Amino acid sequence: MWGEADLQVADSRAYPMIGVQTASNRRTYDAPLEAAVRRFQRRHLLQEDGVVGEQTRLALNTSVASRIDQLRVNLERARWISPMQSAEPRVWVDIAGYRMHYVRPNGQHWDARVVVGTPRRETPIIHSTISHLTINPSWTIPPTIMREDVLPQVRADINYLARKNIQVISPMGEPLVAEEIDWQHPGGVMLRQVAGTGNPLGRVVVRFPNDDMIYLHDTARGLFQRDQRALSSGCIRVEGVAELAQMLLQDTGSRYQMSSLLKGEVIAM
C-alpha cells in the first residue's frame, strides 16, 4: 500500500523540473517559462496554449494534498476496473482521459478520442453489455435535458419543436398535438427528435442497457480536436464510431456491412 511519502516521491519524479527551473527575471514571461506552462497544460489535459488562464491557474494552485487524494481515488478506481479487464473482448471508456478502448476477440486493440459529460452533467460509471446498434436513430430526449434545455425554448416559442423536428408523444408512444399541451405543466409527455442531420445522436448509436440513457454515438466531430472534451450532456461521443460498429458486427459473426446499412441497403442473410 502506498503511503503519503511514496506518493510525494512519485509526484516529484513525474515533475522532474519542479524546483530547478529559474528565470533571470521573475517578472518576465519568457520563452522557457511559456514552454514549461505548455508542458504543464499537456500533462493535465488542458488546452495547450501557453496562456495562464482560469483553468491553468486552478490546476497550478492545486495543493499537493489534493493531488495525493486524486491519486488515491484513481488507484481505487483502477482496483475496480481490474476484474473487468480479465474477460475479452471488452470496450471501456477512460472518462478522465477522453479515450475509448476496444480489445477485440483476436487481441487487437483499437482506441479513439471521445467527448464525455460536463462536470454539471457527468458521464456515469456504468458496467453493462453491448446489445445492439441503431442506424439513423431518433432521439428520445432525456428528462434532465427536456426539463432544463428544451422546455424553456418551447415555452418561449412553440415553433421550436417544428424547427428541430421534435415530435410530442405520450408515454405509450402515441402522437400528441403540441398546441394542446400546457407547457407550463406538461405532465408525462415525451419529446422525440426524428432522425436526420440535426439529430444529436448522429447516424450510428452503440447501445447497452442502463438506467441513465447513456450510449456510444456519433456527431460533434469538431470537438474531438480539443484537449479538454468534457462537453456533452452525459453520453459518449466516439470519433470513428462507424468503424467501431463495423468491428463489433464482424467480431460477433454478423454479415452486415456498415457502408450498406448507412446507405439503407439490406443484404440477404
Residues involved in catalysis: 217, 235
Q: CA dist 167 to 151, 152, 182, Å?
A: 13, 16, 15
Please tell me whether residue 136 adopts helix, strand or coil conformation.
coil
DSSP string, 67-118: HHHHHHHHHHHHHHHHHHTTSSSEEEEETTTTEEEEE-TTS-EEEEEEEEE-
Length of the chain equals 269
Are 264 and 83 in contact, with CB atoms under 8 Å apart?
A: no
Cell of 238: 466516439
Question: What letter does residue 144 receive in the DSSP assignment?
Answer: H
- The CA distances from residue 40 to 14, 49, 83, 182, 199, in Å, are 11, 11, 33, 52, 37
Cell numbers found for residue 30: 519568457
